[in-house]
A = this chain, B = another copy of it.
Amino acid sequence: MHKKIGIIGGGQLGKMSILEGKKLGLSFVILDPSSDCPASTIVDEQIVDNYFNEEKIKELADKTDILTFEFEHINADYLMRLESMGYKIYPSPSTLKMVQDKYQQKTFLNKHDIPTPRFMKVDSVKTITEAIKDFGLPLVLKSCTGGYDGKGNYLIRSHNEIELAYETLSKGSENLMVEEFVKFNMEISALVARDINGKMEIYPLAENIHKDNILIRTIVPARINKEIEKKAKALALKTMEHLKGVGVFCIEMFVSNDGDVLINEIAPRTHNSGHYTIEACRTSQFSQHLRAILELPLGSTELLKPAVMVNILGEEGFEGKTEVIGLEETLKIAECNVHIYGKKDTSGKRKMGHVTILEENLDKALEISDMVLNTLKVISS
């Protein structure tokens, strides 16, 4: 087990993966353009270059036993070529390629009778206007590729906004789609691990609260009834099975007001809504991902204690050298597990850290999480 793992990306997900992998004595090389990225100081070696540089991706693959990635907006075509040359890459580049394109992703899901919000391709103000006739308002305009944390999405609330929405998004991508706006009761997510032989383990469902399209709070277990839980878990497992994903994937879902469960989005990687697993579960999502791709037995996903996770985002209006305030007050709270990612610079809404609150009583955990959000802040100095 002197395995060396190559990770494309060295952000907080890469960092937390390495912290877990080091417990098992694993080695890591990352490819990240920023020499002071969160994972930079705990990695055996870093290749400083951008994620699309094929020469550097090859160098990473040559230096390591297995290749993986911490985020999905990378060069899937080249990874497919590398895979055909015999390199081990998990999750599989062809799964990545399909998931990268939200239109293809949702088409794939529907083909396998997995429900999603209704959607269609659009390429002009005219086709968007026509879509409104079918799907009504509000309507979500999306870039098919490249979006995350609300980037690449535009919520069209009235006909007046169609033109601006189209102009805004068509600059970044000519590949656009619209999606019906689901009046959901709750957003939930399931982390599913799948190994090379198809064995799967699913984590407890997480309830997610977003603000401006960015995850703010995750509550585990999600406050849903048994029936919805069963339905959602079955859907998540079915999705993972069809995707033939290897590693940890996050399946984000809407629970509609009528109790229907629809797949919102798939992330072919560990996910912000799974950070709670580090302290709350027997096996963290990060160590689970490593087990899956290294052909080691998957670990138990048992929840040891209910948890609330809150994201610490850079305060708006502050840009520059990171300064964390309120750390002492937060560390005083017994239930809090504080994570600071170590990003040198902050900016408004940048993900700078998170806190996981372990507490039997979820109402109390939520109260504490409010306290934390009011106390622990990242500004610039």
Contact = CB atoms under 8 A, between A and B. Distances in A.
A304 interface: yes
Interface string A15-50: 100110011110100000000000001111000000
A22 B42 CA distance: 8
Given A1-B327, A22-B15, A342-B25, A334 B302 contact: yes
Interface in A328-381: 328, 331-332, 334-335, 337-342, 353, 358
Q: How large, as a class, is the contact surface on chain A?
A: 35 or more
Contact of A358 (B1, B304, B332, B358): B304
A299 interface: yes
A328 B296 contact: yes
A334 B291 CA distance: 13
A276 to B, nearest CB: 14
Interface in A288-342: 291, 296-297, 299-300, 302, 304-305, 324, 327-328, 331-332, 334-335, 337-342
Nearest to A282: B334
Given A22-B42, A41-B22, A304-B305, A332 B297 contact: yes
Contact of A24 (B41, B44, B299, B338): B338
Given A23-B340, A25-B340, A41-B42, 6 more contacts: A15-B22, A23-B338, A25-B353, A41-B43, A297-B332, A299-B331
